[in-house]
Chains A and B, each alone.
Chain A
């Protein structure tokens, strides 16, 4: 039995459709109820919905053999897992944004507001830039407006929220999308099953490109 952790929400539904098209359907998942675990004995798969940011933990700890997590979560928490496939879903980017008129002259410590403290710290460490990280949990965009920070590091999809708050992207750190991940130990013992799924989903991704 292969345990598959899917992220709750619209992304998870799209991902499930890919698994279904790959021949690993589980009809009970579409029933309108509050169940979180769904099993198809015949196909030897068990799906469960979890909070998107928790998928990597379920996979790393082996409660799920494979799962789908955003690259932002993988970069922030660096779980010890295999990252087998880029699903090209939920595409966006991790970027540094600031008020349109802001210019970093590098003369003082840069104040950075973000939910993604590790990503921000690693990015600025690679540039050798001294920063002060301000950890926020939401509404990051208002931090530079209220002078809480100079810049923000956050996920940017269309850039509309930034624009409406007179902010703009100053630099892109890394492209983000949903990734299919596997527990390392599961890959050793259920590798054939996992590779079959990966191969089939890879074909769908390539056909969609």
Chain B
């Protein structure tokens, strides 16, 4: 019964918290506000630098959280041999790209901060895939390693401008403009072919790893080895086939390094899950450890197809001043006992869609 009245995103919160708990991730409750100055110092890591700020009662300038990860990193400490493993469910406040207005976004996620090993990366990817599987059966989790992209571009051109444009075109799967800027920047034919090949590699993990062999002179060997080992570890999972390699999953390289991933659900027009290793942020915040995590944008789940309700209520019960209260109470109790929902109103004015109408207007105790 409770399950039937919960919305998609409300059900997801409970299911996801239970999942993360199984892997030892403890809920992390944070304050609604942070000092405004904190976000200004770290604005490079925020999606947008527009933040809702206000003065508290002592005059201190505070901000509504535009990001959760920053607060978690700030509040943790480095302890050798210990990994801080937390999950959260928080609202963040960001400017919508479409409306250019502030929007409240319900976000759930996990963070693991400490000496990150390959197992931790594997565990994070598995939790991401399991999260998607809980939200919808048909999903794809695409995984990339930013070390491949940076080594490829470092081997081809020194120009920062070229690299920035190339990253944008690779993330757009835009081979034609990548070819154009290669020509404009006098990139050799061999290097141009390598870039074109790199854009075209995505999909099933083993096929991708095979294709990467042809480009191995250009790519960071350690990054390839990490992908190979990870892929072997993921082979044993029942949903392993839904975890693919796709190097267009390029996240902000100021923030992320190493493994990054994005999750898609069939029926939703944009990625619902995003995450990866973010050691760069950790270093900037003065901590020495590594970190990996992901966030799920629960508000997007509203768009998942669900059964349209034909009725607002099972029974519309009409009463008036003459209706005896005992009759009214007994009728309501009887309807609820039968497992139905009821709305008591004075008249049927067409605002409520109901299955059944019971009219006890004018019914006194003796009626």
Contacts and interface: CB of A to CB of B under 8 A. Distances in A.
B176 A86 contact: yes
Interface string B144-177: 0000000000000000010000000000111011
A183 interface: yes
A60 B265 CA distance: 15
Contacts of A61: 269
A82 interface: yes
B225 interface: no
Contacts of B266: 185, 188-189
B268 interface: yes
Contacts of A188: 140, 142, 264, 266
A84 B264 contact: no
B138 A189 contact: yes
B182 interface: no
Nearest to B303: A62
**Residue from B142, B180, B264 with most neighbouring chain A CB atoms (10 Å):** B264
B71 interface: no
Contact of A83 (B138, B177, B264, B271): B177
A197 interface: no
B7 to A, nearest CB: 20
B270 interface: yes
Given A188-B142, A189-B140, A84 B271 contact: no
B248 interface: yes
Nearest to A187: B173
B172 A82 contact: yes
Nearest to B179: A86
A68 B14 CA distance: 41
A8 interface: no
Contacts of A187: 173
A110 interface: no
A85 B172 CA distance: 11
Interface residues of A, number: 20
A111 interface: no
A126 B165 CA distance: 12
A80 interface: yes
Interface string A184-195: 111111010000
B138 A184 contact: no
A194 B173 CA distance: 13
B138 A81 contact: no
Contacts of B268: 62, 185
Nearest to A61: B269
B137 to A, nearest CB: 12
A150 to B, nearest CB: 26
Interface in A69-109: 80-86
Contacts of B270: 62, 80, 184-185
Nearest to B249: A184
Contacts of A60: 269
A167 B291 CA distance: 56
Contacts of A189: 138, 140, 264, 266
A191 B138 CA distance: 14
B252 to A, nearest CB: 14
A124 B223 CA distance: 37
Contacts of A184: 264, 270-271
B220 to A, nearest CB: 25
Contacts of B161: 126
B176 A81 contact: no
B142 A81 contact: no
A85 B176 contact: yes
A191 B200 CA distance: 13
Interface in A156-192: 175, 183-189, 191
Interface string B205-240: 000000000000000000000000000000000000
Nearest to A87: B176
B269 A183 contact: yes
Nearest to B138: A189
B174 A185 contact: no
7 contacts: A61-B269, A84-B173, A85-B176, A126-B161, A184-B271, A185-B269, A188-B140
Give me the 9 closest cross-chain CB pairs, A-B, nearest first: A62-B269, A86-B176, A83-B174, A188-B140, A82-B173, A188-B264, A189-B266, A83-B172, A185-B264
Interface of A: 60-62, 80-86, 126, 175, 183-189, 191
Given A175-B180, A188-B266, 12 more contacts: A83-B172, A83-B173, A83-B174, A83-B176, A84-B174, A126-B161, A183-B269, A185-B269, A185-B270, A189-B138, A189-B140, A191-B203
